[in-house]
A and B are shown apart, each in its own frame.
Chain A
Amino acid sequence: AQSVTQLGSHVSVSEGALVLLRCNYSSSVPPYLFWYVQYPNQGLQLLLKYTSAATLVKGINGFEAEFKKSETSFHLTKPSAHMSDAAEYFCAVVGSARQLTFGSGTQLTVLP
């Protein structure tokens, strides 16, 4: 079975600082990985996805993630945090049955 683990349920950064949200996967086959963001009282919005075309994936709002097979990781980064980035972020892997299996989420707080 495939799974993802997100380290750090809460992350706080100062505005303008680097954002790093961690995601590690477990999979016996090459995984397809996703990062979603959820703003308060809203659904999930796709930030980016890894589909094996390129290991460095760029997404919306200045976010990017790098697939590292040797580390079984797919960490999400943004060079400079903005107040509007405050939200909950979910890493997910898609299974053979097409369902997404999500990590437990990381709540990002951006401090002024």
Chain B
Amino acid sequence: GAGVSQSPSNKVTEKGKDVELRCDPISGHTALYWYRQSLGQGLEFLIYFQGNSAPDKSGLPSDRFSAERTGGSVSTLTIQRTQQEDSAVYLCASSPGTDLTDTQYFGPGTRLTVL
């Protein structure tokens, strides 16, 4: 079946602009995660959605970052007033439910470059 998809695959933007990154999880998966992968910081958790519950935003690095999940499916990560340190690969993952042992399935990522 279809895996997690993300768009765009690459995004180049200028410092100060806003960007939106999209994630389509695996159909039927109730949990959705965003991570960031950068050379300096490695893989970092950003935000977690589970069903209709309030998201866990504990990993968001600043208030310029926000995310929403519409209809329990597609998610959008928004970065306002982008900075050069936001340059990274943004990975989305989904999992079937809330069990700690559930596998998280990752998308191919969006590579963001802030000039």
Q: A-side interface residues toward B, CB under 8 Å?
A: 32, 34, 36, 41-46, 49, 51, 90, 92, 94, 96-105
Contacts and interface: CB of A to CB of B under 8 A. Distances in A.
A103 B103 CA distance: 17
Interface of B: 4, 31, 33, 35, 42-43, 45, 48, 50, 56, 58-59, 91, 93, 95, 98, 100-101, 103-109
Main secondary structure of the interface of B (DSSP, over half): strand
Contacts of A44: 91, 93, 106
A49 B48 contact: no
Given A94-B101, A99-B56, 15 more contacts: A32-B101, A43-B91, A43-B109, A44-B91, A49-B101, A49-B103, A92-B43, A94-B100, A96-B100, A97-B56, A97-B58, A98-B100, A100-B45, A100-B104, A103-B42
A101 B45 contact: yes
The 10 closest A-B pairs by CB, nearest first: A43-B106, A99-B45, A102-B43, A51-B101, A44-B106, A43-B108, A104-B42, A46-B103, A94-B100, A43-B107
Given A32-B101, A43-B4, A105-B42, A97 B48 contact: yes
24 contacts: A34-B103, A41-B108, A42-B109, A43-B4, A43-B107, A43-B109, A44-B91, A44-B106, A46-B105, A51-B101, A90-B43, A94-B101, A96-B100, A97-B56, A98-B33, A98-B48, A98-B95, A98-B98, A99-B33, A99-B56, A99-B59, A100-B45, A102-B42, A102-B43
